[in-house]
Chains A and B, each alone.
Chain A
Protein backbone atom coordinates (compact mmCIF):
# COMPACT_ATOMS: atom_id res chain seq x y z
CA UNK A 1 0.00 0.00 0.00
CA UNK A 2 1.13 3.54 -0.76
CA UNK A 3 4.20 2.25 -2.46
CA UNK A 4 4.67 5.19 -4.75
CA UNK A 5 5.61 8.56 -3.35
CA UNK A 6 4.69 11.71 -5.21
CA UNK A 7 5.61 15.37 -4.88
CA UNK A 8 3.24 17.90 -6.40
CA UNK A 9 4.69 21.29 -7.30
CA UNK A 10 1.90 23.53 -8.51
CA UNK A 11 1.04 27.11 -7.59
CA UNK A 12 -2.70 26.85 -8.08
CA UNK A 13 -4.51 25.54 -5.03
CA UNK A 14 -7.41 24.35 -7.16
CA UNK A 15 -5.21 22.29 -9.43
CA UNK A 16 -3.24 20.94 -6.51
CA UNK A 17 -6.39 19.73 -4.79
CA UNK A 18 -7.79 18.40 -8.02
CA UNK A 19 -4.65 16.43 -8.72
CA UNK A 20 -4.74 14.97 -5.29
CA UNK A 21 -8.28 13.73 -5.86
CA UNK A 22 -7.27 12.20 -9.18
CA UNK A 23 -4.30 10.50 -7.60
CA UNK A 24 -6.56 8.98 -4.98
CA UNK A 25 -8.41 7.25 -7.79
CA UNK A 26 -5.17 5.82 -8.98
CA UNK A 27 -4.48 4.14 -5.64
CA UNK A 28 -1.25 2.72 -4.35
CA UNK A 29 0.37 6.11 -4.00
CA UNK A 30 0.89 8.86 -1.53
CA UNK A 31 1.45 12.56 -2.01
CA UNK A 32 4.32 13.22 0.35
CA UNK A 33 4.75 16.91 -0.27
CA UNK A 34 2.88 19.77 -1.86
CA UNK A 35 4.77 22.87 -2.92
CA UNK A 36 3.38 26.09 -4.27
CA UNK A 37 6.60 27.90 -4.90
CA UNK A 38 9.91 27.18 -6.52
CA UNK A 39 12.12 27.98 -3.54
CA UNK A 40 13.38 24.93 -1.74
CA UNK A 41 11.73 22.54 -4.17
CA UNK A 42 14.79 20.72 -5.42
CA UNK A 43 16.43 20.79 -2.01
CA UNK A 44 13.50 18.99 -0.47
CA UNK A 45 13.42 16.50 -3.34
CA UNK A 46 16.87 15.23 -2.52
CA UNK A 47 15.72 14.27 0.97
CA UNK A 48 12.21 13.08 0.07
CA UNK A 49 13.36 11.00 -2.90
CA UNK A 50 9.90 10.72 -4.46
CA UNK A 51 9.12 8.27 -7.25
CA UNK A 52 7.21 10.88 -9.20
CA UNK A 53 7.45 14.66 -9.40
CA UNK A 54 4.45 16.41 -10.87
CA UNK A 55 5.59 19.88 -11.80
CA UNK A 56 4.07 22.95 -13.33
CA UNK A 57 6.87 24.71 -15.24
CA UNK A 58 5.17 28.05 -14.52
CA UNK A 59 6.69 27.79 -11.05
CA UNK A 60 10.02 28.42 -12.70
CA UNK A 61 8.51 30.84 -15.19
CA UNK A 62 9.00 28.21 -17.84
CA UNK A 63 12.78 28.20 -17.42
CA UNK A 64 13.35 25.06 -19.47
CA UNK A 65 17.07 24.80 -18.94
CA UNK A 66 16.87 25.12 -15.17
CA UNK A 67 14.15 22.50 -14.92
CA UNK A 68 15.98 20.11 -17.20
CA UNK A 69 19.20 20.55 -15.30
CA UNK A 70 17.68 20.01 -11.87
CA UNK A 71 15.53 17.08 -12.95
CA UNK A 72 18.45 15.32 -14.56
CA UNK A 73 20.02 15.17 -11.12
CA UNK A 74 17.10 13.29 -9.68
CA UNK A 75 17.76 9.66 -10.21
CA UNK A 76 14.87 7.25 -10.42
CA UNK A 77 12.30 10.03 -10.27
CA UNK A 78 9.72 10.29 -13.01
CA UNK A 79 8.86 13.78 -14.16
CA UNK A 80 5.29 14.65 -15.04
CA UNK A 81 4.67 18.13 -16.42
CA UNK A 82 1.35 19.95 -16.06
CA UNK A 83 0.79 22.62 -18.63
CA UNK A 84 -1.86 24.73 -20.29
CA UNK A 85 0.26 25.68 -23.27
CA UNK A 86 0.41 24.01 -26.62
CA UNK A 87 3.68 22.54 -27.78
CA UNK A 88 5.16 21.90 -24.36
CA UNK A 89 5.39 18.23 -25.15
CA UNK A 90 8.91 16.87 -24.87
CA UNK A 91 10.29 20.27 -23.99
CA UNK A 92 11.37 19.27 -20.50
CA UNK A 93 12.48 15.69 -21.22
CA UNK A 94 9.49 14.70 -19.14
CA UNK A 95 8.13 11.18 -18.76
CA UNK A 96 4.56 12.31 -19.20
CA UNK A 97 2.59 15.47 -19.84
CA UNK A 98 -0.80 16.44 -18.46
CA UNK A 99 -2.66 19.20 -20.23
CA UNK A 100 -5.26 21.37 -18.47
CA UNK A 101 -7.86 20.26 -20.98
CA UNK A 102 -7.22 16.54 -20.64
CA UNK A 103 -10.21 14.45 -19.61
CA UNK A 104 -10.29 12.11 -16.66
CA UNK A 105 -9.57 8.98 -18.63
CA UNK A 106 -6.63 10.51 -20.41
CA UNK A 107 -5.06 11.78 -17.18
CA UNK A 108 -5.55 8.45 -15.46
CA UNK A 109 -4.16 6.51 -18.41
CA UNK A 110 -1.15 8.79 -18.53
CA UNK A 111 -0.41 8.39 -14.81
CA UNK A 112 -1.06 4.65 -14.98
CA UNK A 113 1.59 4.48 -17.66
CA UNK A 114 4.14 6.21 -15.44
CA UNK A 115 3.18 3.97 -12.56
CA UNK A 116 3.52 0.81 -14.62
CA UNK A 117 6.98 1.83 -15.62
CA UNK A 118 7.89 2.33 -11.98
CA UNK A 119 6.35 -0.99 -11.02
CA UNK A 120 8.33 -2.80 -13.66
CA UNK A 121 11.52 -1.29 -12.36
CA UNK A 122 10.71 -2.10 -8.75
CA UNK A 123 9.73 -5.68 -9.48
CA UNK A 124 13.34 -6.58 -9.98
CA UNK A 125 14.23 -5.44 -6.50
CA UNK A 126 11.11 -6.25 -4.59
CA UNK A 127 9.02 -9.32 -5.13
CA UNK A 128 6.00 -10.70 -3.39
CA UNK A 129 7.21 -14.26 -3.42
CA UNK A 130 7.38 -16.17 -0.16
CA UNK A 131 10.62 -15.93 1.76
CA UNK A 132 13.49 -18.12 0.68
CA UNK A 133 15.01 -20.99 2.63
CA UNK A 134 17.95 -18.83 3.58
CA UNK A 135 15.65 -16.10 4.81
CA UNK A 136 13.65 -18.65 6.76
CA UNK A 137 16.78 -19.69 8.55
CA UNK A 138 17.63 -16.08 9.42
CA UNK A 139 14.06 -15.46 10.51
CA UNK A 140 14.29 -18.42 12.82
CA UNK A 141 17.27 -16.92 14.57
CA UNK A 142 15.65 -13.52 14.81
CA UNK A 143 12.62 -15.13 16.40
CA UNK A 144 14.83 -16.90 18.89
CA UNK A 145 15.98 -13.49 20.02
CA UNK A 146 19.48 -13.40 18.58
CA UNK A 147 21.05 -10.06 17.68
CA UNK A 148 22.36 -9.30 14.21
CA UNK A 149 25.90 -9.87 15.41
CA UNK A 150 25.08 -13.23 16.94
CA UNK A 151 23.31 -14.36 13.79
CA UNK A 152 26.26 -13.25 11.66
CA UNK A 153 28.72 -15.17 13.82
CA UNK A 154 26.61 -18.27 13.88
CA UNK A 155 26.01 -18.45 10.14
CA UNK A 156 29.47 -17.19 9.16
CA UNK A 157 28.16 -14.22 7.23
CA UNK A 158 28.72 -10.48 7.64
CA UNK A 159 26.43 -8.31 9.74
CA UNK A 160 25.70 -6.36 6.60
CA UNK A 161 24.28 -9.51 4.97
CA UNK A 162 22.11 -10.20 7.99
CA UNK A 163 20.74 -6.66 7.84
CA UNK A 164 19.94 -7.04 4.15
CA UNK A 165 18.16 -10.33 4.77
CA UNK A 166 16.19 -8.75 7.59
CA UNK A 167 15.13 -5.92 5.36
CA UNK A 168 13.94 -8.34 2.70
CA UNK A 169 12.08 -10.49 5.20
CA UNK A 170 10.27 -7.47 6.64
CA UNK A 171 9.37 -6.23 3.19
CA UNK A 172 8.08 -9.58 2.00
CA UNK A 173 6.04 -10.38 5.09
CA UNK A 174 4.89 -6.88 5.94
CA UNK A 175 5.91 -7.39 9.57
CA UNK A 176 8.39 -5.03 11.18
CA UNK A 177 8.69 -5.78 14.88
CA UNK A 178 10.71 -8.66 16.29
CA UNK A 179 7.74 -9.90 18.27
CA UNK A 180 5.65 -9.87 15.11
CA UNK A 181 8.27 -11.89 13.26
CA UNK A 182 8.37 -14.32 16.15
CA UNK A 183 4.65 -14.93 15.89
CA UNK A 184 5.05 -15.54 12.17
CA UNK A 185 7.87 -18.00 12.82
CA UNK A 186 5.76 -19.95 15.28
CA UNK A 187 2.73 -19.98 13.01
CA UNK A 188 4.86 -21.42 10.25
CA UNK A 189 6.55 -23.96 12.46
CA UNK A 190 9.99 -22.47 12.07
CA UNK A 191 10.35 -22.57 15.80
CA UNK A 192 8.33 -24.14 18.58
CA UNK A 193 6.33 -22.01 20.93
CA UNK A 194 8.27 -23.08 24.01
CA UNK A 195 11.58 -22.11 22.43
CA UNK A 196 10.68 -18.46 22.82
CA UNK A 197 11.41 -16.81 26.08
Chain B
Protein backbone atom coordinates (compact mmCIF):
# COMPACT_ATOMS: atom_id res chain seq x y z
CA UNK B 1 0.00 0.00 0.00
CA UNK B 2 1.34 3.38 -1.02
CA UNK B 3 2.12 5.80 1.79
CA UNK B 4 0.56 9.21 1.15
CA UNK B 5 0.78 12.65 2.72
CA UNK B 6 -2.66 12.47 4.28
CA UNK B 7 -2.11 9.22 6.14
CA UNK B 8 -1.63 9.34 9.86
CA UNK B 9 2.01 8.89 10.74
CA UNK B 10 0.99 6.42 13.45
CA UNK B 11 -0.74 4.25 10.83
CA UNK B 12 2.36 4.31 8.66
CA UNK B 13 4.40 2.86 11.49
CA UNK B 14 1.71 0.32 12.34
CA UNK B 15 1.94 -0.83 8.75
CA UNK B 16 5.71 -1.27 8.75
CA UNK B 17 7.71 -1.07 11.95
CA UNK B 18 10.96 -1.16 10.01
CA UNK B 19 10.26 2.48 9.25
CA UNK B 20 10.84 3.52 12.87
CA UNK B 21 14.61 3.95 12.46
CA UNK B 22 14.04 5.50 9.04
CA UNK B 23 11.87 8.33 10.22
CA UNK B 24 14.12 8.77 13.22
CA UNK B 25 16.98 9.50 10.85
CA UNK B 26 14.89 12.39 9.58
CA UNK B 27 14.72 13.67 13.14
CA UNK B 28 11.14 12.50 13.57
CA UNK B 29 10.39 10.84 16.87
CA UNK B 30 7.48 8.72 18.04
CA UNK B 31 4.46 10.08 19.90
CA UNK B 32 2.71 11.65 16.93
CA UNK B 33 -0.87 11.40 18.15
CA UNK B 34 -3.20 11.78 15.17
CA UNK B 35 -1.00 13.98 13.05
CA UNK B 36 -0.66 13.22 9.36
CA UNK B 37 2.55 12.63 7.47
CA UNK B 38 2.28 16.12 5.98
CA UNK B 39 1.79 17.81 9.35
CA UNK B 40 4.73 16.00 10.91
CA UNK B 41 6.99 16.86 8.00
CA UNK B 42 6.05 20.53 8.25
CA UNK B 43 6.70 20.53 11.97
CA UNK B 44 10.10 18.95 11.70
CA UNK B 45 11.13 20.84 8.58
CA UNK B 46 11.44 17.73 6.46
CA UNK B 47 10.89 17.93 2.70
CA UNK B 48 7.56 16.16 2.21
CA UNK B 49 8.27 14.98 -1.32
CA UNK B 50 11.60 13.48 -0.35
CA UNK B 51 10.14 11.87 2.72
CA UNK B 52 7.33 10.19 0.77
CA UNK B 53 9.63 8.91 -1.93
CA UNK B 54 12.01 7.54 0.61
CA UNK B 55 9.54 5.75 2.86
CA UNK B 56 7.75 4.31 -0.15
CA UNK B 57 10.97 3.02 -1.62
CA UNK B 58 11.71 1.43 1.74
CA UNK B 59 8.27 0.07 2.20
CA UNK B 60 7.51 -1.40 -1.22
CA UNK B 61 10.26 -3.02 -3.18
CA UNK B 62 8.36 -2.54 -6.42
CA UNK B 63 7.93 1.17 -5.89
CA UNK B 64 10.00 3.14 -8.28
CA UNK B 65 9.95 6.91 -8.10
CA UNK B 66 10.35 8.33 -11.57
CA UNK B 67 9.07 11.82 -12.22
CA UNK B 68 9.76 13.06 -8.71
CA UNK B 69 13.31 11.87 -8.95
CA UNK B 70 14.88 14.94 -10.46
CA UNK B 71 13.33 17.35 -8.03
CA UNK B 72 15.14 16.18 -4.94
CA UNK B 73 18.52 17.78 -4.30
CA UNK B 74 21.30 15.22 -4.07
CA UNK B 75 22.59 16.89 -0.99
CA UNK B 76 19.43 15.90 0.87
CA UNK B 77 19.82 12.32 -0.24
CA UNK B 78 23.47 12.30 0.73
CA UNK B 79 22.69 13.82 4.10
CA UNK B 80 20.14 11.11 4.72
CA UNK B 81 22.45 8.31 3.63
CA UNK B 82 25.14 9.67 5.93
CA UNK B 83 22.69 9.52 8.81
CA UNK B 84 21.99 5.88 8.01
CA UNK B 85 25.68 5.14 7.85
CA UNK B 86 26.33 6.59 11.24
CA UNK B 87 23.45 4.64 12.69
CA UNK B 88 25.02 1.44 11.37
CA UNK B 89 28.47 2.28 12.63
CA UNK B 90 27.49 3.73 15.98
CA UNK B 91 24.47 1.67 16.93
CA UNK B 92 23.55 -1.42 15.00
CA UNK B 93 26.96 -3.00 14.62
CA UNK B 94 28.07 -2.36 18.15
CA UNK B 95 24.75 -3.58 19.51
CA UNK B 96 25.27 -6.97 17.88
CA UNK B 97 28.90 -6.97 18.85
CA UNK B 98 28.02 -6.38 22.50
CA UNK B 99 25.54 -9.25 22.46
CA UNK B 100 28.06 -11.63 20.98
CA UNK B 101 30.50 -10.56 23.62
CA UNK B 102 28.09 -11.21 26.45
CA UNK B 103 27.32 -14.57 24.92
CA UNK B 104 30.99 -15.31 25.08
CA UNK B 105 31.11 -14.47 28.76
CA UNK B 106 28.07 -16.54 29.54
CA UNK B 107 29.42 -19.72 28.01
CA UNK B 108 32.43 -21.49 29.40
CA UNK B 109 32.18 -24.65 27.38
CA UNK B 110 31.34 -23.34 23.95
CA UNK B 111 33.58 -20.37 24.26
CA UNK B 112 35.77 -21.47 21.43
CA UNK B 113 32.92 -21.47 18.94
CA UNK B 114 31.59 -18.16 20.09
CA UNK B 115 35.04 -16.75 19.52
CA UNK B 116 34.80 -17.94 15.92
CA UNK B 117 31.53 -16.13 15.48
CA UNK B 118 32.95 -13.08 17.11
CA UNK B 119 35.99 -12.99 14.86
CA UNK B 120 33.80 -13.52 11.85
CA UNK B 121 31.57 -10.67 12.83
CA UNK B 122 34.60 -8.46 13.40
CA UNK B 123 35.71 -9.24 9.86
CA UNK B 124 32.29 -8.36 8.54
CA UNK B 125 32.19 -5.17 10.53
CA UNK B 126 35.53 -4.05 9.16
CA UNK B 127 34.42 -4.72 5.63
CA UNK B 128 31.19 -2.82 6.04
CA UNK B 129 32.99 0.07 7.70
CA UNK B 130 35.42 0.21 4.82
CA UNK B 131 32.59 0.19 2.32
CA UNK B 132 30.87 3.02 4.17
CA UNK B 133 34.06 5.07 4.38
CA UNK B 134 34.56 4.64 0.66
CA UNK B 135 31.07 5.99 0.04
CA UNK B 136 31.60 8.94 2.32
CA UNK B 137 35.05 9.84 1.07
CA UNK B 138 34.75 9.10 -2.62
CA UNK B 139 31.17 8.57 -3.77
CA UNK B 140 29.35 11.32 -1.90
CA UNK B 141 31.84 14.11 -2.69
CA UNK B 142 31.52 13.03 -6.30
CA UNK B 143 27.73 13.21 -6.14
CA UNK B 144 27.87 16.69 -4.67
CA UNK B 145 30.40 17.85 -7.25
CA UNK B 146 28.25 16.56 -10.10
CA UNK B 147 25.24 18.36 -8.75
CA UNK B 148 27.24 21.53 -8.31
CA UNK B 149 28.41 21.38 -11.91
CA UNK B 150 24.85 20.87 -13.16
CA UNK B 151 23.53 23.73 -11.07
CA UNK B 152 26.20 26.21 -12.07
CA UNK B 153 26.49 25.20 -15.67
CA UNK B 154 30.28 25.28 -15.69
CA UNK B 155 33.06 23.18 -14.19
CA UNK B 156 35.38 24.70 -11.64
CA UNK B 157 38.91 23.32 -11.34
CA UNK B 158 38.17 21.66 -8.07
CA UNK B 159 35.04 19.98 -9.38
CA UNK B 160 36.84 18.95 -12.53
CA UNK B 161 39.32 16.98 -10.47
CA UNK B 162 36.61 15.14 -8.59
CA UNK B 163 34.59 14.60 -11.73
CA UNK B 164 37.49 13.03 -13.60
CA UNK B 165 38.48 10.76 -10.75
CA UNK B 166 35.27 8.75 -10.50
CA UNK B 167 32.14 7.64 -12.29
CA UNK B 168 28.91 6.26 -10.90
CA UNK B 169 29.26 3.09 -12.95
CA UNK B 170 32.30 2.17 -10.85
CA UNK B 171 30.13 2.40 -7.81
CA UNK B 172 27.48 0.04 -9.13
CA UNK B 173 30.05 -2.70 -9.58
CA UNK B 174 31.24 -2.78 -6.00
CA UNK B 175 27.92 -3.08 -4.30
CA UNK B 176 27.21 -6.76 -3.67
CA UNK B 177 30.23 -8.18 -1.87
CA UNK B 178 29.45 -6.85 1.58
CA UNK B 179 26.15 -8.68 1.82
CA UNK B 180 27.82 -12.02 1.23
CA UNK B 181 29.51 -12.21 4.61
CA UNK B 182 26.40 -11.30 6.53
CA UNK B 183 24.49 -14.06 4.78
CA UNK B 184 27.25 -16.54 5.54
CA UNK B 185 27.17 -15.63 9.20
CA UNK B 186 23.45 -16.26 9.38
CA UNK B 187 23.80 -19.56 7.52
CA UNK B 188 26.52 -20.76 9.89
CA UNK B 189 24.52 -19.84 12.97
CA UNK B 190 21.35 -21.41 11.64
CA UNK B 191 22.72 -24.51 9.99
CA UNK B 192 26.02 -25.51 11.46
CA UNK B 193 26.64 -24.23 14.94
CA UNK B 194 25.39 -26.15 17.98
CA UNK B 195 23.45 -23.47 19.83
CA UNK B 196 24.96 -22.38 23.12
CA UNK B 197 23.14 -22.78 26.42
CA UNK B 198 21.94 -19.20 26.47
CA UNK B 199 19.49 -19.72 23.64
CA UNK B 200 17.46 -16.56 24.11
CA UNK B 201 20.53 -14.41 23.67
CA UNK B 202 21.60 -16.49 20.71
CA UNK B 203 18.20 -16.16 19.04
CA UNK B 204 18.22 -12.46 19.63
CA UNK B 205 21.54 -12.11 17.84
CA UNK B 206 20.23 -14.03 14.84
CA UNK B 207 17.10 -11.90 14.73
CA UNK B 208 19.19 -8.74 14.87
CA UNK B 209 21.31 -10.02 12.00
CA UNK B 210 18.16 -10.52 9.95
CA UNK B 211 16.98 -7.04 10.75
CA UNK B 212 20.36 -5.56 9.91
CA UNK B 213 20.32 -7.36 6.59
CA UNK B 214 16.84 -6.10 5.80
CA UNK B 215 17.76 -2.57 6.74
CA UNK B 216 20.88 -2.73 4.60
CA UNK B 217 18.82 -3.98 1.68
CA UNK B 218 16.47 -1.05 2.06
CA UNK B 219 19.42 1.24 2.28
CA UNK B 220 21.02 0.02 -0.91
CA UNK B 221 17.66 0.21 -2.64
CA UNK B 222 17.70 3.96 -2.03
CA UNK B 223 21.19 4.17 -3.41
CA UNK B 224 20.42 2.03 -6.44
CA UNK B 225 16.98 3.36 -7.27
CA UNK B 226 17.22 7.00 -6.32
CA UNK B 227 20.83 8.10 -6.25
CA UNK B 228 22.33 6.09 -9.10
CA UNK B 229 19.68 6.90 -11.77
CA UNK B 230 19.89 10.54 -10.80
CA UNK B 231 23.65 10.48 -11.20
CA UNK B 232 23.46 8.72 -14.53
CA UNK B 233 21.18 11.38 -15.96
CA UNK B 234 23.33 14.18 -14.53
CA UNK B 235 26.48 12.64 -15.92
CA UNK B 236 24.79 12.66 -19.30
CA UNK B 237 23.99 16.36 -18.97
CA UNK B 238 27.60 17.10 -18.13
CA UNK B 239 28.95 15.06 -21.04
CA UNK B 240 26.74 17.06 -23.35
CA UNK B 241 27.93 20.26 -21.73
CA UNK B 242 31.61 19.55 -22.27
Interface, chain A (partner B; CB < 8 A):
173-177, 179-180, 183-184, 186-188, 193
A184-B188 Cα distance, complex, nearest whole Å: 7
B116 within 8 A of A: yes
A177–B180 touching, CB < 8 Å: yes
Query: Interface residue count for B (Cβ, 8 Å)?
Result: 17
Q: Which of B180-207 contact A (CB under 8 A)?
A: 180-181, 183-185, 187-188, 191-193
A176-B120 Cα distance, complex, nearest whole Å: 13
B21 within 8 A of A: no
A177-B187 Cα distance, complex, nearest whole Å: 11
Q: A193 contacts which of B112, B183, B188 (Cβ < 8 Å)?
A: B112
Residue of B nearest to A34 (CB): B62
A183-B120 Cα distance, complex, nearest whole Å: 8
B187–A175 touching, CB < 8 Å: yes
A177-B180 Cα distance, complex, nearest whole Å: 7
Tell me how far the C-beta of A66 lies from the nearest C-beta in chain B, rounded to whole angstroms: 30
B192–A177 touching, CB < 8 Å: no
**What are 26 pairs between A and B in contact, CB < 8 Å?**
A173-B187, A174-B187, A175-B184, A175-B187, A176-B180, A176-B183, A177-B184, A179-B123, A179-B181, A180-B120, A180-B181, A180-B184, A180-B188, A183-B116, A183-B117, A183-B120, A183-B188, A186-B116, A187-B113, A187-B116, A187-B188, A187-B192, A188-B192, A193-B112, A193-B115, A193-B116
A70-B230 Cα distance, complex, nearest whole Å: 35
Q: Which of B148-200 contact A (CB under 8 A)?
A: 180-181, 183-185, 187-188, 191-193
Tell me how far the C-beta of A31 lies from the nearest C-beta in chain B, rounded to whole angstroms: 10
Tell me how far the C-beta of A38 lies from the nearest C-beta in chain B, rounded to whole angstroms: 22
Residue of A nearest to B188 (CB): A183
A176-B117 Cα distance, complex, nearest whole Å: 16
Tell me how far the C-beta of A140 lies from the nearest C-beta in chain B, rounded to whole angstroms: 16
List residues of chain A with CB within 8 A of the CB of B115: 193
B112–A180 touching, CB < 8 Å: no
The 10 closest A-B pairs by CB, nearest first: A180-B184, A174-B187, A175-B184, A176-B180, A177-B184, A177-B181, A183-B116, A179-B123, A177-B180, A183-B188
Residue of A nearest to B191 (CB): A174
Residue of A nearest to B177 (CB): A177
Q: Which of B106-143 contact A (CB under 8 A)?
A: 112-113, 115-117, 120, 123
List residues of chain A with CB within 8 A of the CB of B183: 176
A176–B116 touching, CB < 8 Å: no
Q: Which of B11-47 contact A (CB under 8 A)?
A: none
A183-B193 Cα distance, complex, nearest whole Å: 10
B180–A187 touching, CB < 8 Å: no
A186-B191 Cα distance, complex, nearest whole Å: 14
Tell me how far the C-beta of B64 lies from the nearest C-beta in chain A, rounded to whole angstroms: 12
Residue of A nearest to B190 (CB): A174
Known A-B contacts A179-B181, A180-B120, A180-B181; the reply to A187 vs B193 at CB < 8 A is yes
A174-B184 Cα distance, complex, nearest whole Å: 7
Tell me how far the C-beta of A187 lies from the nearest C-beta in chain B, rounded to whole angstroms: 6
List residues of chain A with CB within 8 A of the CB of B117: 183
A175–B112 touching, CB < 8 Å: no
Q: Which of B83-113 contact A (CB under 8 A)?
A: 112-113
Tell me how far the C-beta of B120 lies from the nearest C-beta in chain A, rounded to whole angstroms: 6
List residues of chain B with CB within 8 A of the CB of A187: 113, 116, 188, 192-193
B187–A180 touching, CB < 8 Å: yes
A188-B116 Cα distance, complex, nearest whole Å: 13
List residues of chain B with CB within 8 A of the CB of A177: 180-181, 184
A173-B184 Cα distance, complex, nearest whole Å: 10
A174-B192 Cα distance, complex, nearest whole Å: 11
Tell me how far the C-beta of B130 lies from the nearest C-beta in chain A, rounded to whole angstroms: 15
Known A-B contacts A186-B116, A187-B113, A193-B116; the reply to A180 vs B191 at CB < 8 A is no
List residues of chain B with CB within 8 A of the CB of A184: 188, 192
A193-B185 Cα distance, complex, nearest whole Å: 17
A187-B191 Cα distance, complex, nearest whole Å: 11
Known: A175-B187, A179-B120, A180-B188. 4 other contacts (CB 8 A): A177-B181, A180-B120, A180-B181, A180-B187
